[in-house]
Amino acid sequence: MTETVKKTQENIAQPHAVPWFVRGLRDGVPICMGYFAVSFALGITARGIGMNALQAGLMSMGMVASAGEFAAIVLISSGAGVIEMISTCVVVNLRYFLMSCSLSQKLSPDLPFYHRFLLPYCITDEIFGLSSAVPGYLDPRYSYGMTIISVAGWTCGTVLGVLLGNIMPPFIVNALSVSLYGMFLAIIIPPSRKDRFIAALVAISMAASGLFSVLPLLNTISGGFKVIILTILIAGAAAFIKPVDESAGKEEEA
């Protein structure tokens, strides 16, 4: 009887026994596939301005940001200076600063300090979304696993885009890139179904983003600044109306 109970307990605990790094690799597969399609188009664009596979691959591995890299390619093609390119890429990617600050709140106070230097490299929209959805404290190995496979797909797609050129029809590249939007829906729908407050925030965020795209003056704001403004306003209001119960999070982690 005791042996049967023991085996049952082991079976129940088995899903949680999977190492966080392995979970990150597994959950990063859809991100890798979506990144590969988008970065393939990026590689084609990079080849069009004279970049070789090594240059484009190093750019993708170092930045891992589609909007920032496309902006860099445009600036390179126009002969912009180094200061102008750096400033533009910083502004376009400024939202990752807020994401890093937010994700740092999910780290255990006992976590070694060097993880706080390594995790910012792992911040992309998709990896941030999945990392934020982890209940309780975030184990950084989960983000590392997603990052390794995602960055591999992003870099390989860029290099192959340069080497193979226009071998892949544009409509296939565009169709594959839609998978990223499907992945975002998979991230926000489950918590929205469980919590009406989160569902309301998602709806408000989508409506506000739409208004920023059509209203005069607001539609002139760059995508990076738009994300920052909406994040501060909506997340700040949500934190004021319904602050997170830290004691509940610690009990869930325990």
What is the residue-averaged pLDDT of the chain?
79
* Residues 231, 179 within the same domain: no
* Residues 167, 202 within the same domain: no
Average the pLDDT over 7-12 and give the result. 39
* Residues 39, 128 within the same domain: yes
Range of the domain at 119: 18-187
Q: Is the pLDDT of residue 252 over 50?
A: no
Contact criterion met (CB below 8 Å) for 24 and 141: yes
- Domain closes at, from 187, 206, 238: 187
95, exposed or middle or buried, with CB in 10 Å at 0-12, 13-18, 19+?
A: buried
* Residues 104, 26 within the same domain: yes
* Residues 174, 210 within the same domain: no
Q: Is the pLDDT of residue 209 over 80?
A: yes
Contact criterion met (CB below 8 Å) for 165 and 47: yes
- Please report the pLDDT score of residue 38 as a whole number: 82
pTM: 0.67
* Residues 205, 101 within the same domain: no
* Residues 76, 131 within the same domain: yes
* Residues 123, 41 within the same domain: yes
Which of 16-30, 137-151, 195-209, 210-224 has the largest mean confidence?
137-151
* Residues 179, 205 within the same domain: no
Q: Where are the alpha helices (DSSP H) in the chain?
A: 2-17, 20-48, 53-63, 66-77, 82-92, 95-104, 115-118, 125-132, 140-164, 170-194, 196-214, 223-230, 236-241, 246-253
Domain membership flag for residue 5? no
* Residues 91, 217 within the same domain: no
